[in-house]
Amino acid sequence: MNPTKRLSYAVIGTGALGGLYGGLLARAGVDVHFLVRSDFEHIRNFGLRVDSPLGNFHLERVSCFSRPEDMPPVDVAVVAWKTTANGVLAETLRHVCRPHTCVLVLQNGLDVEEAAAACVGSNRVLGGCCFLCCNKLGPGHIHHLDYGRIAFGEYDDELAGYVSPRMLSIAADFQFAGIDAQPCQDLKTVRWSKLVWNIPFNGLSVVLDADTREIMLDPSSAALAHSLMVEVQTAAKHCGCTIQDRHLVKMLEDTRKMVPYDSSMRLDYRGKRPMEVEAIFGNPLRSAQAAGYRPEKIEMLYEQLCFLDRANRGGTHH
Amino acid sequence: MNPTKRLSYAVIGTGALGGLYGGLLARAGVDVHFLVRSDFEHIRNFGLRVDSPLGNFHLERVSCFSRPEDMPPVDVAVVAWKTTANGVLAETLRHVCRPHTCVLVLQNGLDVEEAAAACVGSNRVLGGCCFLCCNKLGPGHIHHLDYGRIAFGEYDDELAGYVSPRMLSIAADFQFAGIDAQPCQDLKTVRWSKLVWNIPFNGLSVVLDADTREIMLDPSSAALAHSLMVEVQTAAKHCGCTIQDRHLVKMLEDTRKMVPYDSSMRLDYRGKRPMEVEAIFGNPLRSAQAAGYRPEKIEMLYEQLCFLDRANRGGTHH
């Protein structure tokens, strides 16, 4: 990959996240192709609409596909759908990837790169966390509310610790498109840092049926959110990742100032779609336990969400 | 009090619990007077109806009062309303109690005798736990589903450790009426034993919006119920009360075999009434913490319930 030349991209999954970042890249003239599932007809006919603090825009025509086998070869495949769709990821990547293609996994949670690594090899996988508030309002219509930074890095342990040339190329393309993409040397710590927010606020928003503002305004739920953050910090420490206290303070402050926000997990729960319980809760919990630490409250939240996820999708006991 | 003679009783609060036990005493011919709040007109006109495995019955006329100042003096005042009604307990007891009257507090939770003790002195207070499934179906209509044992004992530390003559008299009256009333030497351990059930099943039924059967059938929620029981057992131990492992096993087995049951706390939540969060969760939590133990999952459940209780009653942030 030549850092002076723009790369080509396949966006795997055109929901809130894929629609926003892919849309920004396309608006900037970068070569982007979208794999679209539920909204394919709409996006093919009407394009992609993005409401964003970065400027509203409407792409009347985008290169979109309903089947991965129809897509052109690209330099970077961006995995932008939820981990709950990963059942078809291997087959999808087989169609989209050429030998030189690398895969950038922009999913929430821990160890979410494993599925892509099993398919193309871990040395061709990058992972990233998106710090953003973004929802899909309707077919092909994305609403970007706030934030938007992507922190990303190499997944392979051998490649961790430094910023690779392909990371610089991707960062250059994204920044050219107005996306705050930050190359990071330590993807694991980035993932744990994101979990500091996702574990309390995704989890409690579902269990307490509350948005971020309601959780932060009540002293009991705000205290619980903080306790959960401390457990994530302690779990990260046991897994070799240091998260500073000031990161917790900033996450709480940012959330307090945030517009009332429904986490993606709450939206999935309300839409009776599967929640990303294993990626965001099960994997970090098992990593902590394997490292000799038992985060009691994360465990409890995980068990509550497992129950609610099954009940929500018509568990046989309901 | 003379153990060969029946005592007279005032039932303070004629809901599911007061209606059942008071009704059974009245059916047996024991002298019982009911303080009735919401259902007064109905019970005065139509009496009290009890559906029970002990036999259905209908008392067409019962001695009922809407104001404590109208009630006759009695030997035993039975506090049968929820702790959330205790704001008016002191004033009520002042009217109902004579110098010889003792108070039997049949409320859920820990340290719930404190309000009565502050009023009449702790040496005139007994406490008891009711192991029963019982709901109010409508005004003056009680549905007793299963179980029914009362384990009770002296509240005062000086009197703890032995079975007092007044305990024998009360047990004799209750058993005469068909109630399985067991005098116990150690009220504190009885209370913690009851919390082994109440903390997981009252709490999770509200947070997970589930009945006992749904909680026990799902592996995640069943595991969580068990973890919470172990925390209650550990908290009890720190407070000087030993609860055997076999009690936990029995509670889980009984709950598994139980007819699907909505805990009183879930009914309160659904009815948008205040929940007994402090009596059942806050007090045991603070006792454990004061004894040097931090039960993480009980703390989390307490914070979740505080949030839901406020939100349910129109917290300002909703």
Please tell me the least confidently modeled range out of A66-80, A222-236, B11-25, B132-146: B132-146
The distance of B308 to chain A (nearest Cα, Å) reads 7
Please answer yes or no on whether A310 and B213 come within 8 Å at the CB atom: no
Per-residue pLDDT, A3? 47
Chain A residues within 8 A of B215 when measuring between CB atoms: 307
Residue B4 has pLDDT above 70, yes or no: no
Residue B316 has pLDDT above 90, yes or no: no
Residue B9 has pLDDT above 60, yes or no: yes
pLDDT grade, residue A116 (50/70/90)? Answer: very high
Integer CA distances (angstroms), A227 to A223, A269, A297, in order: 6, 24, 8
Query: What are the phi and psi torsion angles at B133 (to 5°)?
Result: -110, 115
Summarize pLDDT for B152-196 with one digit per residue, the tens. 999 999 998 889 999 999 999 999 999 999 999 999 999 999 999
**Out of B208, B301, B317, closest to residue A307 by CB:** B208
Residue A284 has pLDDT above 60, yes or no: yes
Per-residue pLDDT, B318? 42
Per-residue pLDDT, B260? 84
Residues of A engaging B, defined by a Cβ cutoff of 8 Å? 204, 207-208, 210, 213-215, 217-218, 220-221, 223-224, 227, 296-297, 299-304, 306-308, 310-311, 315, 317-318
Contact status, residue A157 vs residue A127, Cβ threshold 8 Å: no
What was the ipTM of the complex prediction? 0.87
Per-residue pLDDT, A160? 87
Residue whose C-alpha is closest to residue A23's, from A65, A51, A42, A53: A51
The pLDDT mean for chain B works out to 95
Per-residue pLDDT, B151? 97
Number of helices and strands in chain A (H, E): 13, 10
Q: Which of B201, B224, B307 to probe by mutation at the A interface, max A CB count within 10 Å?
A: B307
Residue whose C-alpha is closest to residue A82's, from A307, A280, A270, A288: A280
Q: What percent of chain B has pLDDT over 70?
A: 97
* Secondary structure of B170-233 in HEC code, one letter for each residue: HHHHHHHCCCCEEECCCHHHHHHHHHHHHHHHHHHHHHCCCCHHHHHHCHHHHHHHHHHHHHHH
**Out of B218, B227, B304, closest to residue A307 by CB:** B218
Per-residue pLDDT, A4? 59
Per-residue pLDDT, B315? 64
Does the model's pTM come out above 0.95?
A: no
Q: How far separated are the first and last CA of chain A, in Å rounded?
A: 53
